[in-house]
Amino acid sequence: MADWVGRAAWHLRPVHARLLAHIRASTKIFADETTAPVLDPGRGRTKTGQLWAYARDDRPWGGTDPPAVAYVYAPNRKAEQPIAHLAGFKGVLQVDGYPGYRALAEKGDVQLAFCWTHVRRYFYELAVGGAMPIASEALERIAALYAIEKDIRGRSAEERCAVRQARTRPLLVALEIWLRERLALISQKSKLADAIRYALSRWEGLTCFVDNGRIEIDSNTVERSIRPITLNRKNALFAGSDGGGEHWAIIASLVETCKLCRIDPEAYLADMLAKIANGHPNNRIDDLLPWAYDKPLLRDVA
């Protein structure tokens, strides 16, 4: 099986590269990363690689570009990795709080949008134990933001922006004031203070979605794309080498993009590999991308 995957992934490299290029050409994408255990034969154990995920999904605001995700394997989590993967990208990058992405913004072509799910998670961990009224109120205030997002999902970018400016902006202004007031009242060494500072230190990136209807309130789009990788990691245990990690990323990119585009991954891969083996022209790689494929040949998936 590993040999078959390796041979298939080798032939699919140009398709994977083109998939990533299409995502990079968008002006609004998501990024995330997760660990990828890789066998390290020289040391007789596994080492920790990284699978970086880059996704686009314009469906929440009615965009017509098809959803897609591309994974890229890397041996580490250094900032140099997303800088290389996203070379030439200009636009909004929606991410979690990992500082490595800031290097992209410093170049001036990338605006970072941050994720309210991560903010909410910090307060939830404090509130779930009880006796933490400030954390509980923070959750209620964040829930009000999400309620507005639920109402406007699927509307045009212009409509979303107008609603957010009218309804969301006042809530965010009040929330910032409230957070700063509460921070001044509590121990600066507490976990609650850490949670508040996490939000306030990223406030510009957390609130920029108000002025741009194409930006989401969180990065859940790419986190959903990371979840299958996490589940597969539990089943496969580890990749056999750095090359195996690269093959993993290539196959996973096409499989998960098929799912996003409602295409049967197995049928897609089988037919596409047959076309490549029969001499599909290199200058027509775009014809092999999931959203451009001859969909009547494939069973639509739910």
Quick one: 33 and 85 in the same domain?
yes
Hunting for tokens 């510009």 — which residue is that? 204
Residue 44 in domain = yes
Quick one: 84 and 125 in the same domain?
no
Quick one: 183 and 244 in the same domain?
no
Quick one: 108 and 121 in the same domain?
no
Q: In sequence order, what DSSP letters do the residues of 12-48 get, joined into one string?
A: HHHHHHHHHHHHHHSSEEEEEEEEEEEEEGGGTEEEE
Residue 302 in domain = no
Quick one: 101 and 7 in the same domain?
yes
User: Residue 128: which domain range?
Assistant: 116-211
Judged against a pLDDT cut of 80, whether residue 130 lies above it is answered with no
Residue ending a domain, among 160, 184, 211, is 211
Residue ending a domain, among 211, 246, 272, is 211
Per-residue pLDDT tens over the stretch 244-296? 788 889 999 999 999 999 899 988 998 888 888 888 888 899 999 999 875 55
pTM: 0.88
Quick one: 89 and 69 in the same domain?
yes
Quick one: 81 and 125 in the same domain?
no
At 197, the pLDDT band (50, 70, 90 cuts) reads: very high
What angle do helix axes 242-260 and 265-277 make, rounded to 10 degrees? 120
Total domains, the chain = 2
- The C-alpha atoms of residue 296 and residue 302 are separated, in whole angstroms, by 15
Residue ending a domain, among 211, 237, 270, is 211
Per-residue pLDDT tens over the stretch 209-228? 999 999 999 999 888 887 77
Quick one: 22 and 105 in the same domain?
yes
At 107, the pLDDT band (50, 70, 90 cuts) reads: confident
Judged against a pLDDT cut of 90, whether residue 75 lies above it is answered with no
Buried b (16+ CB within 10 A) or exposed e, 168-205: beebbeebeeebeebbeeeeeeeebbebbebbeebeeb
Judged against a pLDDT cut of 90, whether residue 6 lies above it is answered with no
At 11, the pLDDT band (50, 70, 90 cuts) reads: confident
